[in-house]
Structure 1
Amino acid sequence: MSDSEHEYSENENDAIYDDEETALEMAALESSAMIERPAKEFINHKAALSALLEEISQKSLKWIHRCDVVSTQPIVVEKADNDLDRELKFYQQGLEAAILGKQEVLNAGVPFERPSDYFAEMVKSDSHMARIRQKLLDQQKGIQNAEEAKKQRELRKYGKKIQHEKLKEREDQKKVALDKIATIKKRLRSGDMGDADDFDIDVDSEGDDKKSKFNRGAKAKGGRPQPNKKRQNKNEKFGYGGKKRGIKNNTSDSAADMSSFSVKRNKSTNFSAPSKKSRVQRPGKAKRQRTH
């Protein structure tokens, strides 16, 4: 028998074995389904349950040993799916239980509140709490600084906006004035001024204002303006400072003047600094102090 025939026979045997196993499982399931099982009976033995409840009841003990609190009103939730309504009912019941429990503790005469002069060791150290407090203060200060910086930025933006508007207004006014002046110049050239009131500009006063800085006194020779009356009075009283420009320039007379020329000095061939021997020695500090 070849290898291929041997493998085929093994696969055929495995298939037959699986079919038999499946048939046995189906037969077992059918036999278990045919077996009748008795139905469970639920019996409410109230007497037995009440006896057991009385046996484990602790009504004979004081409330402080039992610490049981019963709500005066049952919880009624119209819609069980309403989480908000349900949690609100639980909160109200817990609040009522806390009030009733506190009253029972007071009736039992058991102290449960901390006295005013009670000092207990804190879980956190004072230095740790100081760091936490400083951190909270820093955070609050940072928030305040951020708000203040935001306000300052807004104020700067508003100020810049106002400044731009003012500059624009000035430019518009300047442009209007320049247009009026240009129109007046054109009419002056053409010789037709028409009605000057249309431009709200006094031509004579405008020209006088521009020339007022230079025409405050009578003109001297060459058309140069003279100083004002106050300056003239001071010049007459204290004198004029004189000419300052070009006073050190050589002239023909100064170049021909040889009065300051020294033959002895110019015959010397050594133009270096004088020797130490020829220098006048300064007296020492002690000698200077004695002379004083």
Structure 2
Amino acid sequence: MTDFIVNDSESDLDSDEELQEAFAKGLIKPGLNEEIEKIEKKYTNNVADLKVKLTEIKLNLPWVEKLDLVTTIAPLAPDVALQMQETAQRRKNLKENSKGNIQYDPTQDPVLNEFKRENLIHRQAQAAVVEGLKKLKELGIATRRPDDYFAEMAKTDEHMQKVRKNLMAKQAAQSRVEKVRPLREQKKIAKRVQIDTKLKQAAEKKQMLEPLKRVRKGKASDLDFLDDKKGKNSKGKGVQDKISKKRDLKNQKFGFGGKKKGSKLNTRESTHNMDGFNNASKKSVNFKNKTFNTKKKNQRPGKSKRKNKR
């Protein structure tokens, strides 16, 4: 049984080899692919028949029934132009800051192009409405919209509210980013200045410690660098403590003025001093003549009496 199977496989191999040899000699041609003749398509532009067909399907109706208009685009409003400019600038800042040094091309921005496309459609419709109203007025047709007319939108109110909330959130996030950006720049600058100051202080410290180490090791005995440092510090303080001549002259003329705060507070001496207290008891009052006689003690004698005493 096995010999029979082996013989079959050998016969198959022989047949394959024979086919390959016949194909190499050109006796066998490929028959799987059939060549198809190319037929050139002819396009006919029968203008006469097209015009006949057009007259058959054309409806000669008045313009009021068709309301077809061919108009130009209405002029762009200034506020819309400003909004488009701000949108382009905002998109440019967003793209360049998020993706690195990439040149922003507004013509390739899908968001900006979509906004421009919608604006063009709106302006086209606006121009058509203006022209249509003008023609209807010439024909004497009333154009007032009825009070019970409601235009149905393609999107529901809920969907438009979601879109509005999303746009407001994006706008708030963008404004927040623009406010935070200068603060971040200021922090970076302050950090850079702080690092530079620390490096400068470290360099000065190193410059001072190097000669000090040499003195400690006995390689040098000159300590003038310490005097130089003291001189620098004292020079800086002297500039701050210096008083102008004008201030000095005023201090000499008027004085410092002394302590002002708490000058009217009671002290131990002022509390025990009873002079001038209840002076009314020492006075004799004559209510009829309305005169006040006061008793004077240790009154100084007159000039004649003093001369006689001498």
Same fold (TM over 0.5): no
* Range of TM-score over shorter length: 0.3 to 0.5
Kindly name which structure, 1 or 2, has the bigger radius of gyration based on alpha carbons: 1
TM (normalized to structure 1)?
0.34
TM-score (norm 2): 0.32
